[in-house]
Chains A and B, each alone.
Chain A
Amino acid sequence: MAAEMTIDMTKTFSGRAPIQARLRYEVEASTVLILFGPSGSGKTTILRSVAGLEWPEEGRIKFLSRTWLDTKSGIRVSPQDRQIGYMPQDYALFPTYSVAGNIGYGLGALASHDKSKRVAEVVELFQLQGLEAAKPRELSGGQQQRVALARAVAPRPQLLLLDEPLSALDAPTRVQLRGELRILLKQLALPSIIVTHDWAEALTLGDVMAVMGEGQIHQVGKPHEVFSRPADADVARIVGVETVVQGQVVENANGLATVAVNGTRLKGLSSEAIGAAVYVCIRAEDVVLEQAGSGMTSARNHLMGRVSDMAPQGVMVQVTIDCGFPLTATITRGAVEDLCLVPGASIIAAIKAGAVHLVPRSVG
């Protein structure tokens, strides 16, 4: 039997749409599942059900060969017996314990010598040396996040559950820790489930992604595939980034990076080094279409292409342009008429460098 995670559950909270999630995916040593969706979509409830902190009225949760929940046969494994590492959104560090005390808290089963050895090991892994005696309230947000993660990882769990791991941090710290978290998760070789509403986190950290909206799972797939090929209009609306393509940084001058995407060059804002593999992410409403031969604009990117597809969406039309890679633009019906757009027509797509988002990706 393939190593799998199965979640099939129904949970109702009064006054909200019931959460009905059905999800099955293959688990390898370090598979990261992203539960993606807006707040209130039910992703945290699913995570908490996997942790054993929430009890669905009905369903089954199975991780590898172990059944954690099966309402039909009455199996209810307590959170204590699931061997998981769980990090809630605001970390929930124990205020009466020091950093070392927090990290060692779940190691009660070990002899005191082994316990202090494991704490020292984890302190080093998370670069918390010198902070062992500090109380949580004396730490910065980034340090608290590392302690919370260290505490979850210390008892060597089988599965790591992270609820919005970076959302409590300020923006610069978040970008930095996003990269660190990705390296760490691969290093730990531990399957994990991460709840997030940030598409950059989903792309950076995820191997599999489940898009959620109003209690339902709408699509499951590789993150960049879900972003660039949403299954339906709901998914497209939830993810909100229509173009996600693979590229490579070929030049970087003071934070203005040039990326090559299948022969086409684009400029975007990023501090990624030359040679870095990235996802190029562009929202359709940030793309301006103009007729060939018009004058210079402030936009740094003018891409020549041909219209390959046009899909009406209410008063808007979603136009796909082949400019070396498929690029999606959303424009009004009036604009379509003014530009005389038909499939096959030549057009120039203009995008400001600030609207070209570069997210690092792992090669392979």
Chain B
Amino acid sequence: MNWTAIWVTFKLASLTAGVLLVVGLPIAYWLTFSKWRWKFIVESVVALPLVLPPTVLGFYILVAIGPHSPVGRFYSDVVGHPLPFTFEGLLLASILYSLPFAVQPFAAAFEQVDRRLIEASWTLGVSKVATFFKLIVPLSMAGLVTGAVLSFAHTLGEFGVVLMVGGNIEGETRTVSIDIYDEVQALNYAGAAKTALLLLAVSYGVLLLVYAMNRKVWAVWPQK
């Protein structure tokens, strides 16, 4: 088995889930509580990676961070090398690709929190930010874990975006799914099978965790 590819994949998935936990929370909070009438525009943008072919998403990201875009030029001026075909570029693409898998469970969990509880907290002199951490986060814990785990699992299996933005650089952007593809191309079915089984087992285990946890919360804490 290609342990380097496995390590790159897990590093990528963990960092993606971690960043999405930080970036996704304010987006989900805004999507849930904003009364802005054009909110659905942002909602649709967040959900776009669900329906867009990964190659299309990857193509646009590649163009957006490439040397011909202002963002790409700024990055290479500051860091010294361009963003495409690096781990950092791949991380950025993964974050965008998995955004709905984090934001949607977060927002669904926030939606479940009774507004009257939030209002009661405000009248007790607790700021909006403190209310978020003292009240909303504990009440949405199941949704937060679900979002983090799903974005982790989703990143594990990404292929098209990796190929477009990351390429296939050993130890840098070569992930498990690319490795499996290469093995099959080289007619090394035994090697591909082992890696594929590992990916299947991990993905299934992660989903077991999500469903079991939602189940437990639901049973211990019945909705009135």
Binding site for B on A (CB under 8 A): 51-53, 78-86, 88, 90, 92, 94-96, 105-106, 108-109, 151-152, 155, 161
Contact = CB atoms under 8 A, between A and B. Distances in A.
B198 interface: no
3 nearest A-B pairs in the assembled complex, by CB-CB distance: A106-B124, A86-B123, A92-B116
A105 B122 contact: no
Contacts of B120: 86, 88, 92, 94, 151
Contact of A94 (B117, B123, B127): B117
Nearest to B127: A80
A243 B139 CA distance: 50
A364 B123 CA distance: 34
Contacts of B119: 51, 53, 79, 86, 88, 92
A104 to B, nearest CB: 10
B117 A80 contact: no
Nearest to B117: A92
Interface residues of B, number: 18
B80 interface: no
A217 to B, nearest CB: 23
Given A94-B121, A106-B125, A106-B126, 20 more contacts: A52-B122, A52-B123, A53-B123, A78-B122, A80-B123, A80-B125, A80-B126, A81-B125, A86-B123, A88-B116, A88-B119, A88-B120, A92-B120, A94-B120, A95-B117, A96-B135, A105-B121, A108-B125, A108-B130, A152-B123
28 contacts: A51-B123, A52-B123, A53-B119, A53-B123, A79-B119, A79-B123, A80-B123, A80-B127, A81-B125, A88-B116, A88-B119, A88-B120, A92-B117, A94-B120, A94-B121, A95-B117, A95-B139, A95-B221, A96-B139, A105-B121, A105-B134, A106-B124, A106-B125, A106-B126, A108-B130, A151-B124, A152-B123, A152-B124
Contacts of B135: 94, 96
